[in-house]
Amino acid sequence: MINGKTITELAEARKSIRTYSSKSIPSELMKELENKIAGSSNPFSIPVSFFILSKDQYDLRSPVLKGETYYIAGKVKKEPYAEEAYGYAMEELVLFLQANDLGTVWLGGTFGREAFEKAIGLEADAFMPCVTPFGYPAPKMSLRETLMRKGVKADTRLPADQLFFENDFSSPLSPEHGTEAAFEAVRLAPSAVNKQPWRIVRQGSSYHFYLVRSLKETEPDMQKTDMGIALCHFVLALEETGIKTEVIIKDPGISCPENTEYRFTVCTQTA
Ligand SMILES: Cc1cc2nc3c(=O)[nH]c(=O)nc-3n(C[C@H](O)[C@H](O)[C@H](O)COP(=O)(O)O)c2cc1C
């Protein structure tokens, strides 16, 4: 729960915001965001550093945005699961902002990377997978934003029976009582080009996460970042119903469809 809203409610309410109003953000809320950043963690125990940047101070630009004044950008050392760690940690900030009525949009491609990397002092052994602006949404979307949303069918998601499975990839999962909301929170998660690359196979109290690769693998990789975002929704939604989680990396060896890769497992225990 954040500000009395469940993770699934926040996942339902969130959508990418690319057009911002000029309403200023209260200083107490900025302070809360700074505290949230200072306390940021992720299940991979990979340190991620975040920075709040003012657009004008660093001359930051994105051709898809209108009216934005602040951004969050972050960096993480290049290592296995760095993108998942980044995705998890930044999505926690996105949900916090959503709970406070502030809009965001994950940006991995359509922004001037160089100015951001310079502003955060990016080292050669680290990368900055994505950034997000944040601010109050404008009452009306720009025409460009409306067209972009149509282009990636941003308001649609795959049905649960194509995403979540029982024991192996051959039978769809019927989530047991208490976990439905967590699966729905994953289904509604944002992903690069809305490709929804996450699949989950449940085996008993273990939930194996797989990546269906549909975008070219890059460094940093957008679809691994998507996996971290989905994990964030899943873990936070389970934990708020009293289910304890631990994330491990141990391939169960389930036979996978084409272009599908095991990434990690969420082990659960009812408290
Ligand atoms: C890792 C990642 C990278 C993204 N990169 C961009 C981007 O470069 N430009 C952009 O306009 N949207 C980007 N998006 C936003 C997605 O297009 C958006 O989340 C998706 O279409 C679903 O729409 P929704 O967020 O409104 O639910 C990105 C999203 C994610 C998760």
Ligand 1 pocket residue status of 64, Cβ below 6 Å: yes
- pLDDT bin (cut points 50, 70, 90) of residue 175 is confident
pLDDT at 91: 98
Within a domain: 55: yes
Q: Is 1 inside any structural domain? A: no
Shared-domain flag, residues 172 and 125: no
Mean pLDDT, range 73-94, rounded to an integer: 98
Mean pLDDT of the region 150-167: 97
Same domain, 92 and 66: yes
Location of structure tokens 């004044």:
69
Distance of CA 38 to the CA centre of its chain: 18
Q: Looking at the predicted structure, is the pLDDT value of residue 271 above 70?
A: no
Q: Say yes or no: 101 and 168 in one domain.
A: no
pLDDT of res. 252 = 98
Mutate to test the pocket of ligand 1, among 16, 110, 232 (most ligand atoms within 8 A of CB): 16
What is residue 270's predicted lDDT score, i.e. its pLDDT?
Answer: 80
> Is 230 touching ligand 1 by the criterion CB < 6 Å?
no
Helix (H), strand (E) at residue 231: helix 222-239
Q: Please count the structural domains in the chain.
A: 2
CATH number at residue 182: 3.40.109.30
Q: Does residue 154 fall inside a structural domain? A: no
pLDDT above 70 (res 24)? yes
What are the tokens at 93? 């900030």
Residue 179 within any structural domain of the chain: yes
Q: Are 105 and 170 part of one and the same domain? A: no
**Average pLDDT of the chain?**
97
Is residue 126 a part of any domain in this protein? yes
For residues 120 and 164, state if they share a domain.
no
**Residue 137: which domain range?**
7-146
Chain segment 184-232, per-residue pLDDT in tens: 999 999 999 999 999 999 999 999 999 999 999 999 999 999 999 999 9
* Position 40 pLDDT exceeds 80: yes
In angstroms, the CA 194 to CA 156 distance is 9
What percent of the chain shows pLDDT beyond 90?
A: 97
Q: What is the mean pLDDT of residues 4-8?
A: 97
Q: Ligand 1 centre from 132 Cα, in Å?
A: 10
Tens-digit pLDDT profile for residues 69-83: 999 999 999 999 999
Indicate whether 97 and 165 sit together in one domain: no
Task: Based on the fold, state whether residues 33 and 117 are members of the same structural domain.
Answer: yes
Residue nearest to atom 31 of ligand 1 (CA): 191
**Does residue 176 form part of some domain?**
yes
Closest of 55, 19, 23, 13 to residue 138, by C-alpha: 19
Q: What is the mean pLDDT of residues 238-254?
A: 97
pLDDT of 176 reads 79
266 and 174 fall within a common domain: yes
Question: 166 and 36 in one domain?
Answer: no
> Is 79 found in the same domain as 14?
yes
Nearest CA to ligand 1 atom 30: 192
Residue 21: per-residue pLDDT: 98
- Answer yes or no: do 24 and 53 share one domain: yes
Q: Is 173 in the pocket of ligand 1 (CB under 6 A)?
A: no
Are 204 and 250 part of one and the same domain?
yes
1 contacts: CB under 8 Å, gap ≥ 6: 7, 240
Of 193, 212, 197, nearest in space to 151 by CA: 193
For residue 109, give the CATH number of its domain.
3.40.109.10
pLDDT value, residue 187: 98
- The tokens for 268 are 């659960």
Residue 152: inside a domain:
no
Closest CA to 178 of 254, 227, 230, 238: 238
